[in-house]
């Protein structure tokens, strides 16, 4: 069915990725019932989305790429729809009044594949024997209809049916598991507000491992052949969790899950209360332990505190990088000061053309943003002292728990904790391209 879509309904207004996300409403909850056939890469889905209209809606849109839509209902009534490229345009039978809660149901199916873009293929991806979902920043529409913008955070229920020999791990806490003759349905509940890019499903022939039974519980899904190496490489994760809680405050979710795929991955992937590593990140020598710390730190910075738009991504990656350095310093590795000096020297040899508070869409994942972000925090720590700095870190996390954040939010809070303006420091480190000198220790 086709219809004319109101201008602006299918754009988020994000300065970097305006075509991802949608206007006119905010989501509250997603209920996803998925049936996946691994041998044929066939996905059948029923998504129920509860949202609130921010103004009167005669039309609305959702992000969905590469799958065929069979039916759309709005508040139980059939709705007209048009599925054009990665946008599902919907015209309800009755307009939704401003401020009203409404329900959209979408039945869809097909062979899911990643969304192709400037960062390669992102989203639902077949492994040699299973599935990997890595959605940052635009891959969520590859497997469910959503408002694909980081500032739109909702709760989730995810039920996935797959062949019984496979383990399904999804974001959230496992609330039910039902086995039939040849399939098992795994149900996960995620009550914390979560953006679409941090929702994930992992399917594989995994052993389920209990890493830590205290608070927060820590679990893992690992191929049998990697269990011994994994036990060593992730053997200090519970200590790492305790250390990061001392630095940043309580862990923000009910539990933490780690998945190690049986395939190699270029980089680990963070999801809400979950991190995903490749087989190549597990070698039995803790070679990649800094990445374990980095992904865990994202649970505070990126997941609980999510950027309001993609300009502010240094608040995710710079903070997770600094967490790597902090863990190194307390676990017997090089101290923070040595790592900061090393990366400062390396950045001095690189082009000075990046403003990390607004890097541009093509440089969102530039390594220099990660390292200069970490150096910015180290410069701030030197400027205000350890007591103020770590009080600021804990205050930042507590004040914005499960919310959306911006760079001005952080700099304003830093100045309140410091008790004085920090305009020169932040201007040089965040908004200017040349690499400034590190403040004296």
Q: Show which of 128, 156, 173 is a domain's final residue.
A: 173
What would the mean pLDDT of 359-378 be, rounded to a whole number? 97
What would the mean pLDDT of 294-307 be, rounded to a whole number? 98
Percentage of the chain modeled with pLDDT above 70: 98
What would the mean pLDDT of 59-67 be, rounded to a whole number? 97
Residue 104 pairs with which residues in a beta bridge? 49, 74
Active site amino acids: 295, 370
pLDDT, residue 5, reads 36
pLDDT, residue 12, reads 83
Nearest to 113 by CA among 43, 162, 44: 43
Strand order in the sheet with 87-91: 60-63, 87-91, 80-84
Tens of pLDDT, residue by residue over 170-207, are: 999 999 999 999 999 999 999 999 999 999 999 999 99
pLDDT, residue 22, reads 96
Residue keyed to tokens 């803790």 = 286
pLDDT, residue 250, reads 98
Residue 2 pLDDT greater than 90, yes or no: no
Q: Which of 11-25, 33-47, 273-287 has the lowest mean pLDDT?
A: 11-25
Residue 7 pLDDT greater than 50, yes or no: no
In a domain, 188, yes or no: no
- Please give the annotated binding residues for Zn(2+), written as ranges: 294, 298, 317
The number of folded domains in the chain is 2
Residue 305 pLDDT greater than 90, yes or no: yes
In a domain, 392, yes or no: yes
Residue 246 pLDDT greater than 90, yes or no: yes
In a domain, 119, yes or no: no
Structural domain including 400 reads 307-431
Residue 390 pLDDT greater than 80, yes or no: yes
Which CATH number do you get for residue 377?
A: 1.10.390.10
| Contact criterion met (CB below 8 Å) for 86 and 62 | no
In a domain, 217, yes or no: no
- What whole-number distance in Å separates Cα of residue 264 and Cα of residue 247? 32
In a domain, 366, yes or no: yes
Tens of pLDDT, residue by residue over 250-262, are: 999 999 999 999 9
- What whole-number distance in Å separates Cα of residue 63 and Cα of residue 66? 10
Confidence at 9, pLDDT banded by 50, 70, 90: confident
In a domain, 351, yes or no: yes
């Amino acid at each position: 069915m086709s219809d004319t879509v109101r201008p602006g309904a299918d754009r988020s207004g994000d300065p970097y990725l305006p075509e991802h996300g949608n206007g006119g409403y905010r989501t509250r909850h997603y209920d996803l019932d998925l049936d996946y056939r691994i041998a044929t890469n066939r996905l059948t889905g029923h998504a129920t989305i509860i949202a609130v209209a921010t103004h009167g809606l005669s039309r609305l849109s959702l992000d969905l790429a590469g799958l065929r839509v069979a039916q759309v209902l709005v508040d139980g009534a059939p709705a007209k729809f048009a599925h054009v490229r990665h946008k599902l345009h919907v015209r309800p039978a009755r307009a939704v009044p401003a401020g009203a809660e409404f329900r959209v149901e979408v039945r869809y199916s097909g062979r899911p594949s990643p969304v192709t873009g400037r960062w390669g293929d992102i989203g639902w991806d077949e492994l040699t024997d299973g599935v990997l979902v890595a959605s940052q920043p635009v891959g969520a529409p590859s497997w469910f209809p959503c408002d694909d913008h980081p500032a739109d955070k909702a709760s989730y229920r995810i039920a996935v049916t797959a062949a019984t020999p496979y383990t399904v791990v999804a974001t959230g806490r496992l609330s039910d598991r039902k086995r039939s003759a040849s399939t098992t349905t795994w149900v996960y509940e995620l009550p914390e507000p979560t953006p679409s890019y941090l929702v994930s499903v992992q399917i594989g022939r995994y052993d389920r491992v209990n890493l830590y039974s205290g608070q927060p519980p820590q679990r893992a899904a690992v191929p049998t052949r990697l269990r011994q190496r994994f036990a060593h490489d992730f053997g200090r994760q519970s200590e790492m969790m305790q250390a990061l809680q001392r630095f940043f405050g309580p862990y923000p979710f009910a539990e933490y899950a780690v998945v190690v795929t049986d395939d190699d991955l270029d980089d680990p992937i963070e999801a809400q209360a979950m991190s995903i590593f490749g087989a190549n990140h597990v070698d039995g020598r803790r070679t990649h332990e800094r990445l374990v710390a980095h992904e865990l730190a994202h649970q505070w910075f990126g997941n609980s505190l999510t950027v309001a738009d993609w300009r502010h991504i240094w608040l995710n990656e710079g903070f997770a990088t600094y967490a790597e350095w902090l863990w190194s310093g307390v676990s017997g590795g090089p101290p923070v000061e040595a790592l900061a000096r090393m990366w400062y020297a390396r950045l001095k040899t690189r082009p000075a053309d990046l403003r990390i508070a607004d890097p541009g869409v093509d440089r969102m994942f530039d390594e220099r943003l990660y390292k200069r972000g970490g150096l910015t925090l180290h410069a701030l720590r030197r400027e205000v002292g350890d007591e103020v700095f770590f009080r600021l870190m804990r205050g930042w996390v507590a004040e914005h728990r499960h919310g959306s954040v911006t760079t001005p939010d952080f700099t304003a809070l830093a100045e309140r904790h410091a008790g004085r303006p920090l305009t020169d420091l932040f201007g040089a480190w965040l908004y200017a391209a040349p690499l400034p000198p590190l403040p004296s220790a």
